[in-house]
Amino acid sequence: MPLLLIVALVVLLGIVMIPVGILQRYRVGTRRQKARGWVAALNVLGLAVSTLLFLIVAGLTSIWVPNVLQYSAAGLAGGALLGVLGLWLTTWESGLDELHYTPHRLLVLGLTILVSARIAYSLWRSWVSWQAGLSGGSWFVATGLAGAMAAGAVVPGYYLVYWLGVRRRLRLHARRSLRRM
């Protein structure tokens, strides 16, 4: 019995910590940061691999759930457009040797709210959709997986384009610094 209580407390703690994690992600995502080449390159590499795997999984999932790949591609495209907007709205500060940037607060807040709302909606929709399984329908299809994948695809689309832009901006800054010498 104590083991079951411990497991229940760990699960409850995980659920309670979700809002704290979202708030921390927002705080970190909106602070002034130094642009570092290795961080940008590592993020671009990781996001490219992640995006590729996401599209492969979306393609495989579309065998069972219609329109998942199309919705995921649309979500990636929307995220990429938001990434371009994010680069345009970012505050850039060039020093002699360093480049600092501050992401736009409202855009980061919007992405955080989008992800949070989609998680909450998916949980609610999954709960309601089990009724479809009881009446003979597929609760898995009825959960709105295609929309959830599209909303989830916005984030890697945004960050892939954003980090490509940070990397490009850093290279331009390095070239300008070399010309000054």
> pLDDT digit string (tens) for 35-65?
898 999 999 999 999 999 999 999 999 998 8
Determine the residue type at 95: G
Q: Give dist(CA 26, CA 113) in Å, integer.
A: 10
Entry pTM:
0.81
**pLDDT, greater one: 66 or 88:** 88
Let me know if residue 162 belongs to a domain.
Answer: yes
Q: Is residue 18, in this structure, part of any structural domain at all?
A: no
Q: Which of 48, 34, 45 is nearest to 170 (CA)?
A: 34
Residue 111 pLDDT exceeds 60: yes
User: What's the domain range around 43?
Assistant: 34-180
What is the mean predicted confidence (pLDDT) over 146-170? Answer: 91
- Taking all residues of the chain, what is their mean pLDDT, rounded to a whole number? 85
Which one is predicted more confidently, 157 or 144? 157
Position 9 in a domain: no
Q: Residue 6's pLDDT is what? A: 86
pLDDT at position 181 is 61
d(CA 123, CA 58): 20
Distance between CA atoms of residues 153 and 107, nearest Å: 16
Q: How many domains does the chain have?
A: 1
Identify the residue whose tokens are 């945004």.
158
* 126: helix, strand or coil: helix
One-letter amino acid identity for 143?
A: T
